[in-house]
Amino acid sequence: MTDYPLIIKQMQALSEVSADPTPVMANVSSLLYHAMEDVNWAGFYLVKDGALLLGPFQGKVACVRIEKGKGVCGTAWDEDSLQLVCDVHAFPGHIACDSASRSEIVVPVHRDGDVIAVLDIDSPLPARFTEDDAAGLTALAEAMEAIIKQGEAS
């Protein structure tokens, strides 16, 4: 089981060096990739120029641009909702960046109420992600939002 409170504390400590979202997201990607079992990709897509563009991540080469409403990440952005997908091959319009991925969880990250990024984690196992993962990653995204807000205030 992933220790999300510990990862959040580590993220907060790392953000004290720089509250700039990019290095924070890079370190969070690494923390999650190495702390979670059975994942093959962990990272962020950033809302830029009307699409999701690849941001900091750990894992194999990934899709560079995802349109709003397309695939699991684009759906999370479009609906502003967490997506917990047990079988990506059964998800309508799934974008297969890595054919080894079988399940996925995507969590929106906000600034001032708007989605500015999505946290995306893939697994080669079907039904890898649980409601505990959803709650832990939601708490992590909320902590990241607080870091981003604090960085803007400084």
Task: Specify the CATH number of the domain 4-153.
Answer: 3.30.450.40
Q: How far apart are CA 149 and CA 57, in angstroms?
A: 22
DSSP-derived 3-state class of residue 96: coil
Q: Please report the pLDDT score of residue 154 as a whole number.
A: 63
Q: Please state the pTM of the whole predicted model.
A: 0.95
Distances 26 to 18, 31, 147 between C-alpha atoms, Å:
12, 9, 14
Residue-level pLDDT at 131: 97
pLDDT tens, N- to C-terminus, the chain (154 residues): 899 999 999 999 999 888 788 999 999 999 999 999 999 999 999 999 999 999 999 999 999 999 999 999 999 999 999 999 999 989 887 777 777 899 999 999 999 999 999 999 999 999 999 999 999 999 999 999 999 888 776 6
Enumerate the domain spans of the chain: 4-153
Whether residue 111 contacts residue 83, with contact meaning beta carbons closer than 8 Å, is answered with no
Q: Classify the C-alpha dihedral 8-104-107-50 as positive or negative.
A: positive
